[in-house]
């Protein structure tokens, strides 16, 4: 006679195994390595808090980079420094722009690019520190900073805005075109959340990218 051991308990096993596999595929699909799609650029020359501007021109294995950001995102305030502490914060911020840009603007490692600073300045760079102590900010116009009025940031009350600007030379071991640039401003200037990047080279393009981790194909 037949055996009694072939009960109904083994049914349905094959069905259960297919579901985790489908979920795995969904998760893997979310981890692509493609470049980031940019958003539209902000207005040229605008002073927008949280946003840095990068202009990169490329020629072969060399490039030039112009950087501009609100001083608030570099050293925490935009008026002329009034105290020893503010002077020290400003100096530290400008030094970080001078020395640490390569941590924020990261070219492909195999290109072994070196970034050397040509110039760093803010709107307070031209005057000495000690003439700023007591008086208000309305003296900015006299120093030729007439670009302050044009921004129309009335939401900031009576304080003037100030930008930090810097230019850098880039020299690499191979052509920059076709390589990948990564932004990591969060490591150096976490107040910068977006970067308006304009690239001029073999392929010219521009757009607004997130400052922390955007991957951009040059």
Q: Which residues bind Zn ion (CB under 5 A)?
A: 70, 78, 161
Q: Residue 65 Cβ, how far from Zn ion at the closest point, in Å?
A: 22
Q: Residue 186 Cβ, how far from Zn ion at the closest point, in Å?
A: 20
CB closer to Zn ion, 90 vs 161: 161
CA pair distance 179, 71, nearest whole angstrom: 30
CB closer to Zn ion, 118 vs 143: 143
Residue nearest to Zn ion (CB): 161
Beta strands in 86-162 (DSSP E): 105-106, 114-122
Closest among 72, 90, 73 to 81, alpha carbons compared:
90
| DSSP string of 62-76, one letter each residue | EEEEEEEEEHHHHHS
State how far the alpha carbon of 90 is from the alpha carbons of 77, 93, 137, 194, in Å: 8, 5, 17, 22
Sign of CA dihedral 123, 159, 50, 154: negative
Q: Residue 48 Cβ, how far from Zn ion at the closest point, in Å?
A: 9
Residues in a beta bridge with 196? 53, 208
CB closer to Zn ion, 159 vs 203: 159
Q: Residue 212 Cβ, how far from Zn ion at the closest point, in Å?
A: 21
Q: Residue 73 Cβ, how far from Zn ion at the closest point, in Å?
A: 9
CB closer to Zn ion, 76 vs 213: 76
Q: Residue 133: how many CB atoms within 10 A of its CB?
A: 10
CB closer to Zn ion, 50 vs 213: 50
């Amino acid at each position: 006679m037949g055996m009694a051991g072939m009960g109904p308990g083994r049914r349905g096993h094959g069905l259960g195994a297919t579901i985790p596999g489908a979920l795995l595929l969904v998760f893997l699909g979310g981890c692509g390595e493609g470049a980031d799609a940019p958003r539209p650029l902000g207005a040229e020359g605008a002073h927008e808090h949280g946003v840095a501007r990068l202009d990169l021109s490329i020629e072969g294995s060399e490039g030039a980079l112009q950087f501009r950001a609100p001083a608030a995102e570099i050293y925490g305030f935009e008026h002329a420094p009034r105290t020893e502490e503010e002077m020290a914060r400003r100096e530290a911020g400008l030094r970080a722009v001078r020395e640490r840009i390569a941590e924020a603007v990261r070219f492909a490692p195999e290109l072994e690019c070196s970034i050397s600073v040509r110039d760093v300045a803010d709107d307070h760079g031209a005057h000495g520190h000690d003439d700023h102590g007591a008086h208000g900010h309305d003296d900015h116009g006299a120093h030729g900073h007439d670009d302050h009025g044009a921004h129309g940031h009335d939401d900031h009350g009576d304080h003037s805005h100030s930008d930090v600007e810097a230019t850098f030379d880039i020299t690499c071991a191979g052509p920059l075109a076709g390589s990948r640039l990564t932004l990591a401003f969060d490591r150096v200037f976490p107040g910068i959340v977006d970067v308006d990047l304009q690239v001029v080279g073999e392929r010219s393009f521009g757009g607004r990218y997130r400052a922390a981790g955007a991957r951009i194909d040059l």
